[in-house]
Amino acid sequence: MKVLVSVKRVIDPYVKVRVKSDGSGVETANVKMAMNPFCEIAMEQAVRMKEAGVVSEIVAVSVGTTQSQETLRTAMAMGADRGILVEADADVQPLAVAKVMKAIVEKESPRLVIMGKQAIDDDSNQSGQMLAALLGWAQVAFASKIEINGDNADCTREIDGGLEKIAAKLPAVVTADLRLNEPRYVTLPNIMKAKKKPLETIKPDALGVDVAPRLTTLKVEEPAKRGAGVKVADVAELVAKLKNEAKVL
């Protein structure tokens, strides 16, 4: 079974994000970048399934700038067999990503697509669901466990009331939650091997997909700084402050 895994290049989660002086977005120049953590989890799951003999080939796909090749090389160092970069200069929004992924799915004919449930930069949590809708495939979002049994992907997902088990008929789109697994550490030998693995670069036009942004960001600004905490002598003073100062009572 062939599996497609999408990976996104984002600002490293351990880097403090700074807003641009003109308020048009966040600063990405000379900022450390990394693979989106949820995409790492999706890739790890595909690799584990291949090690278990369930998956025969893993194809990593990224939609972004030329620098996204680094992210694909990391995915291949984790265990992907090859990579596909759909090179786009613009800020690619969720619907455009879903349309690009649909074109890649039609080209590669995988039985399963695993994506991170969301990217930590825009937190949209939309591309996986949109892709499933465009393909007309079964979908499972926020999966914390995935098992392939014949033509079904038996998944467990977290919901407000506890855990929900879903048997999705393949082909399907599954988005990975935080508790699905813990990604492995990428070793130097595997990084060197990844440099020799095939990486294909395609333009969105070649896939017949328009990735022009449909949404416009008006302004980006930092959240207000939290005020310092205060100590209260007793419950009566606490209630008074909540009522008179915080005005939450």
Q: Single out the residue of 17, 20, 82, 93 nearest to residue 50, CA to CA.
A: 82
Going by pLDDT thresholds of 50, 70 and 90, the confidence category of residue 215 is confident
Q: H/E element holding 157? A: strand 152-159
Report the pLDDT value the prediction gives residue 67, as an integer from 0 to 100.
92
The DSSP string of 21-86 is TTSSSB--TT--EEE-HHHHHHHHHHHHHHHTTS-SEEEEEEEE-TTHHHHHHHHHHHT-SEEEEE
Report the pLDDT value the prediction gives residue 101, as an integer from 0 to 100.
96
> CB-based contacts of 230: which residues, under 8 Å, 6+ apart?
241
Please state, rounded to an integer, the average pLDDT across all residues of the chain: 92
Amino acid at 25: G
Give the pLDDT confidence of 111-166 residue by residue, as tens digits. Answer: 999 999 999 988 899 999 999 999 999 999 999 999 999 999 999 998 888 899 99
Homologous superfamily of 2-244 in CATH?
HUPs (3.40.50.620)
Whether residue 83 contacts residue 76, with contact meaning beta carbons closer than 8 Å, is answered with: yes
Cis check: omega of the bond before 171, within 30 degrees of 0: yes
Whether residue 157 contacts residue 141, with contact meaning beta carbons closer than 8 Å, is answered with: yes
Q: Cα(3)–Cα(76) distance, rounded to whole angstroms?
A: 13
* pLDDT score of 70 more than 90: yes
Q: Single out the residue of 87, 110, 88 nearest to residue 5, CA to CA.
A: 110
Rg (CA), the chain: 21
Report the pLDDT value the prediction gives residue 204, as an integer from 0 to 100.
93
* pLDDT score of 42 more than 80: yes
Report the pLDDT value the prediction gives residue 164, as an integer from 0 to 100.
94
Whether residue 101 contacts residue 209, with contact meaning beta carbons closer than 8 Å, is answered with: no
What's the rounded mean pLDDT across residues 179-201? Answer: 94
Question: What are the sequence ranges of the domains in the chain?
Answer: 2-244
